[in-house]
Structure 1
């Protein structure tokens, strides 16, 4: 006889103080708020609403709902052909396994929102008032272009549990009540609560940080997210690279015997941590073979064209020519032969196609369990516009085989600088020289201020300046700068207050 396992099917909503959304009173509040115009934000939210998939994923689920309600394109596939925000894709600021075990803090949710392409204003309860909350809430619920996520403690509502995140879907001015769209629908239904109690719930301390909770406003950015390069911090390697950029590199630049750009950049390359390439990754699009047409769709072709355009613009910079020549001089066989290029592509395919298969299967957390059975290069028709290069792979996991294609951005050989080394030796797809070039362009402009030789400083600052970059590449670099800035701030100051995060001029 099997032992019974304790389980729960929902909780009874303590009422008062809350009012069940589906109750007669809840319906009356909804109808009156709708007539007053303070339920406009409800409709896009409820159209994209989801239940958190893990007990500790309330922050991720709330953010996914809001990002989708704002129609922000994640720029990468979720499953099949669809680009859509899901909790499994919100891992750039905190590993999913850690969130699953420990939950996520207020600051990291704000960080995730920014990395996902949203504008964020965050307010902890000690730096705002209930009048501020009411004013911002009314603005959000009266439109469809801004949504409010609350971080609060359930205790204030006599509910079980502790800290929680949920979007706020509406406001009743006459009763001064807010509608919490609880993402833990397996526990409590959506419910109205007095705004004063919601404010009290925000004024409780998060034991994991020692800081008060609060609320954040999420809206769309006018600028698009990056197309080819992105900051990655899925593992802990980025921390050593961040330390290098913030501490080690400025000290290195203050050294003596730096009399020209080549010497300076050579010393920089030699001092890079082993994990240098883990900080910035190039974004690859992966699709299932059985779902994809043999040719590229118009949308796929346009995205691939943009990636290739950015890649070529990186290689047209003088900075790339210098970086590449220095890398080639140190390791002349690293990327010049076709066999070496094939080997490198095989390694890329093994890593990226397995990760892509995991994303497509919805099992991102176990992507390391995937292995590539075989990989090969092939060309496919780009919607009647010539041939494009694809890495095709068969990926096996737990006995199941997945066929995936990786669309590979390529640069035109010989289209770069007139430098002969570049013509003969540049790898056609994104390489370590490209990654290092965009990293140098994306670093905080003050990085170079410690160079003693004024002439050298001026020359280097000209090399890394974004002033004369083509528009596509400049957007890419500015997006990377924002990511690096917010990650650094997230690490250094957990509060992540909006007042602490002005938009520096160098972020654009």
Structure 2
């Protein structure tokens, strides 16, 4: 990742004196921005958890272990929802050569995350970029199909006014309300609902010289 993605992570690495490892610090999003930008209304969240794909996550999200590992955490949660065995960040990353220090230095791009997923499942992995708003809407409708899973790569700044690139699984789509259910793997945010067009705008941003987009995991 670059500009908003990789650069934002890179400038956040702080060498802890005498500790022997790096900690990751990303630009903070105020709690009030989280509350005002997305929807956490209990009755809507409860309905969203009853969507066909969301139910496979069993209302349980394993949070990312640090702010650089949202991609591996998203894959781990998604594979678990599909009943596969490699369901932890460590298991997902094992043997891939990625994030071997415990931190994904510079973050992972959408293509890199797709390679990680391909190494851990025999299901078909597809990367989608440069979607139109209408194409994105059609995919959100299909996010309720239990035979497929979507992971979205989006820029937090577009939604919250601060933050950098992020990955999370999509739990489904409340079509009547035009709301997408994002299963945020960051414990601070927790799962939330958002107007489809705003989420599309956050996805339709550059990560280096490529657009962000969607990762699909589905049966062959």
TM-score of Structure 1 vs Structure 2, range by shorter chain: 0.7 to 0.9
Q: What does 1:134-283 correspond to in 2, within 5 Å?
A: 134-141=137-144, 143-185=145-187, 187-207=188-208, 210-221=209-220
Shift of 1:134: 1.8
Secondary structure at the aligned position of 2:100 is classed as helix
Query: Aligned-pair distance for 1:157?
Result: 1.0
Deviation sequence 1:260-317 (CA, Å, 0-9, x none): xxxxxxxxxxxxxxxxxxxxxxxxxxxxxxxxxxxxxxxxxxxxxxxxxxxxxxxxxx
Q: Distance in 2 between matches of 1:45 and 1:159?
A: 29
Which of 53, 60, 63 in structure 1 is aligned with 2:75?
63
Q: Tell me the equivalent position of 2:106.
A: 102
1:121-171 per-position Cα deviation (integer Å, ceiling 9, x unaligned): 2101x2x22222222222222x32211100000011125310000011121
What SS does the corresponding residue of 2:128 show, helix, strand or coil?
A: strand
How far the C-alpha of 1:33 sits from its partner, in A, is 8.6
- Kindly indicate whether the alpha-carbon contact (under 8 Å) linking 1:138 and 1:171 is maintained by their aligned counterparts in 2: yes
> Deviations for 1:39-70, whole angstroms, at most 9, x for unmatched residues?
11001124552100121000000000001111
Alignment of 1:66-145 (within 5 A): 66-73=78-85, 84-91=86-93, 92-97=95-100, 99-117=103-121, 118-124=123-129, 126=130, 128-141=131-144, 143-145=145-147
Partner residue of 1:49?
61
User: How many Å separate the matches in 1 of 2:48 and 2:118?
Assistant: 34
CA distance 1:11–1:101, shift in 2 (3 Å): farther
Cα pair distance change 1:133/1:31, threshold 3 Å: same
SS of residue paired to 1:188: coil
In the aligned structure 2, how far is the partner of 1:139 from the partner of 1:72? 21
| Among candidates 18, 25, 31, match of residue 38 of structure 2 | 18
TM-score (norm 1): 0.35
SS of equivalent residue, structure 1 residue 90: helix
Taking the aligned partners of 1:107 and 1:220, their CA distance within structure 2 comes to: 19
C-alpha distance in 2 between matches for 1:192 and 1:32: 8
Q: Could you say if the C-alpha distance between residues 196 and 183 of structure 1 is closer, same or farther in structure 2, counting changes exceeding 3 Å?
A: same
Aligned residue for 2:44?
28
What is the rounded CA distance, in whole Å, between the counterparts of 2:77 and 2:48 in structure 1? 25
Structure with the greater relative contact order (CA < 8 A, sep ≥ 6): 1 or 2? 2
Q: Distance in 2 between matches of 1:156 and 1:18?
A: 12
Offset of residue 204 of structure 1 = 1.0
Q: Which runs of 5+ in 2 are unaligned?
A: 1-24
Partner of 1:461: none
3-state DSSP of counterpart to 2:162: coil
How many Å apart are 1:116 and its aligned residue? 1.0
Q: For residues 76 and 48 of structure 2, what CA distance do their matches in structure 1 show? A: 28
Three-state SS of the structure 1 residue aligned to 2:169 is strand
Compared CA separation, residues 48 and 145, structure 1 to 2 (3 A): farther
Cα distance in 2, alignment partners of residues 116 and 184 from structure 1:
22
Root-mean-square deviation over aligned CA pairs:
2.5
Partners of 2:78 and 2:159 in 1: CA distance: 23
Residues 153 and 214 in structure 2, CA contact (< 8 A), matched pair in contact too:
yes
Superimposed CA distance per residue, residues 89-131 of structure 1 (whole angstroms, 9 cap, x where no aligned partner): 223444223653322110011111111123112101x2x2222
Question: Max radius of gyration: which structure?
Answer: 1
Residues 66 and 159 of structure 1, relative CA distance in 2, 3 Å threshold: farther
**Equivalents in 1 of 2:152, 2:165: separation in Å?**
10
